[in-house]
Amino acid sequence: MKPARLIVLGIAVTAGAAAFMLSGNRSPAPIVQQIVRPVSETVEILVAKNDIAVGRALSPEDITWQAWPVAAAGPLFIRKTARPDALNEFKGTVARAPFVAGEPMREEKLIRADGSGFMSAILPAGMRAVSTEISAETGAGGFILPNDRVDVLLTRREQGQGSAESILTETILRNIRVLAIDQTVEEKGGQKVVVGKTALLELGPQQAETLAMSRQRGTLSLALRSLADAKPNVARDSEEQERNSSRVNFVRFGINSTQTTK
């Protein structure tokens, strides 16, 4: 065999051996796994399309349908499958509480006004809206806002024997909700202080009578309660009522004195 052919054959054998060795050392191709995420089941519920203030009458443009995860859809949410005509059904209803955009609508926060004013629409059943005059001095310096809770104080003068005069202050109503200050029924535009001349209070029938009678007996003042005190505590309020009613402030010849009665 000629030397040239031997050289070509040697090169071919060497190349084949090198290719065989390279193919044996090559790592296997990676396996691509496709992760299929389960599709969350959704249901369409009625939500607020924009912010809705207290006392606002709804229109179809204020509410819309929105997909919501079934697992997170509460039983009080309004579902399209159950009430497909809800956009028209709730037209004209009045918001008893504020809604923010995207918040699910709940029927207990809406009421049908049926042509009445919005205050009578948002007033709970059995309650009365009664106004009382206030000032910066008798209204906590103007820091009372709608939906705050207050105590109503009565200050009156009583004529004693001779020239003695006594001044008595007592709490006549406790933990009363303020519905409005003048015409303001909610905080607007970041307003933190509402200085008004009239406060509208949410009262029961007997409380309304007490307030009307007390207005003729002396000066009424509102004492702002803490948010932590918003829920009624019958035992505490009764104890405070008994303690306050047994303390009388007397003013004789310009000198204040306190007397405890039994």
DSSP notation for 104-152: BPBGGGEEE-TTS-HHHHHSPTT-EEEEEE--TTTTGGGT--TT-EEEE
| Claim to verify: residue 105 and residue 132 sit in the same structural domain | no
The number of domains in the chain is: 2
> Which of the listed residues 85, 107, 122 is the one where a domain comes to its end?
122
Non-local CB neighbours of 207 within 8 Å, separated by 6+ positions: 128, 173, 176
| Claim to verify: residue 180 and residue 196 sit in the same structural domain | yes
> Which of the listed residues 122, 157, 178 is the one where a domain comes to its end?
122
Q: Which domain holds residue 79?
A: 42-122
| Claim to verify: residue 107 and residue 192 sit in the same structural domain | no
The per-residue pLDDT for range 9-37, each reduced to its tens digit, is: 667 767 666 666 666 555 555 666 666 66
Looking at residue 243, what is its pLDDT?
44
Q: What is the pTM for the complete model shown?
A: 0.54
Q: Check if the beta carbon of residue 126 is closer than 8 Å to that of residue 204.
A: yes
Query: Which token pair is 69?
Result: 């995860």
| Claim to verify: residue 65 and residue 177 sit in the same structural domain | no
Average pLDDT of the segment spanning 227-253: 50
Give a yes or no: residue 9 inside a domain: no
Give a yes or no: residue 206 inside a domain: yes
Looking at residue 39, what is its pLDDT?
64
| Claim to verify: residue 67 and residue 136 sit in the same structural domain | no
